[in-house]
Amino acid sequence: MVDQDTPPRRARLASTGARAAVETVFGEQPRGDKVSGLVFRSLMMLALAMALVMLVSLIIYSAWRGWGRLDLDMITEKPSRIRPERAGYGPALLGSLYMILGVIVLVVPIGVGAAVYLEEYAKRDRWYNRLIELNIQNLAGVPSIVFGILGLAFIARGPIGLGLVVATGSITLTLLVLPTVIIAAREAIRAVPPSIREGSLALGATQWQTISRQVLPAAAPGILTGVILAVARAMGEAAPLLLVGAAGFTPFLPLLFDGQYSALPVQIYRNAVEPREEFQTLAFAGVILMLVVLLAMNSFAVWLRNRYERRW
């Protein structure tokens, strides 16, 4: 019976004893708790896995189908209905970049201005301010095609009548993402503690000086992140641009207020509906190109946020 007292056995006895002691004190954990916890956790992981699998398979499939055209021509060449094997996204890429620049130039001052008004000047208890707030929330959920019709009726034709040009696309996309930018900017402005405003006002700064020199610089990282995410969304929109004249196969480089233009998502769509196999390949290659551009923009947003993030 000597070998029964070996160290492993003693350890086992000790741990059994410890477990018994713990159970006497705290009670045994109900079996149901363990099971339901496990089930819940598995379901969450499954949900995450589904999202990831979709995304990864999309990228892999597009890369596989578009592999033959992941070349420099795809980026620089003009689109063509006749020779898809040499055609590319040059004008469309440039059109998208022009349009996005326009969106940034328009959406930043308007979006931030509206957010500053709502957060810093508007009196919450006035009915018209509440109405504006409610409508901005609703506007963020309006389908993009509706903005396309608005752009066609009021900007391309109608009172503004710019025609079917890049600027029209820019303005339409600006209207589309403006609510998102306003909401993001408001969040960022609201996150600046009131004590900062008080400190500034107590020094004899005016309200405008306080906003422009304290509140906006402190809110800038949050605002920037919101702007970049909104712009990334604008970049990927095809539906409203189809209505305001983004052409499929324009060989010309776009001008702001004149001539035909195209955009990446629209060009991808036009290529995808062509019957020949080479067009399909080109469309998949376009998907990869757009994903790369979007990923670059999102990475930039994350980098900005991390770089300027503040804590109070």
Partner 1 sequence: MRPQQVTMERKDAEREAVFELRNVSVFYGSQKAVNDVSMDIYRNTITALIGPSGCGKSTLLRSLNRMNDLIPDARVEGEVLYQGADMYSPRVNPVQVRKKIGMVFQRPNPFPKSIYDNVAFGPRTLGMTGDMDEIVERALRGAALWDDVKDRLKDNAYGMSGGQQQRLCIARAIATEPEVILMDEPCSALDPVSTGRIEDLMLELKERFTIVVVTHNMQQAARVSDMTAFLMVQMGADEHSRWGELVEYDETNRIFTNPADERTDNYVSGRIG
Q: Which residues of the chain form contacts with partner 1 (CB under 8 A)?
A: 123, 193, 195-196, 198-206, 209, 213-214, 217-218, 310-312
Least Cβ distance, residue 123 to partner 1 (angstroms): 7
Exposed, middle or buried, 165 (CB in 10 Å: 0-12/13-18/19+)? buried
Cβ atoms 176, 140 nearer than 8 A: no
- Please tell me the distance from the alpha carbon of residue 283 to that of residue 268, in angstroms, as a whole number: 5
- Number of C-beta neighbours around residue 95 at 10 A: 27
- Number of C-beta neighbours around residue 40 at 10 A: 10
Least Cβ distance, residue 181 to partner 1 (angstroms): 23
Closest CB to partner 1 among residues 7, 204: 204
Closest CB to partner 1 among residues 154, 308: 308
- Please tell me the distance from the alpha carbon of residue 117 to that of residue 216, in angstroms, as a whole number: 12
Cβ atoms 262, 92 nearer than 8 A: yes
Instruction: Return phi, psi of residue 246, to 5°.
Output: -65, 115
Closest CB to partner 1 among residues 225, 267: 225
Compute the residue count for the chain: 312
Least Cβ distance, residue 50 to partner 1 (angstroms): 41
Least Cβ distance, residue 130 to partner 1 (angstroms): 15
Least Cβ distance, residue 202 to partner 1 (angstroms): 4
Q: Cα 80 to chain center, whole Å?
A: 31
Closest CB to partner 1 among residues 123, 307: 123
Instruction: Return phi, psi of residue 158, to 5°.
Output: 60, -150
The strand pairing partners of 18, in sequence order, are none
Closest CB to partner 1 among residues 196, 256: 196
Least Cβ distance, residue 309 to partner 1 (angstroms): 11
Closest CB to partner 1 among residues 57, 306: 306
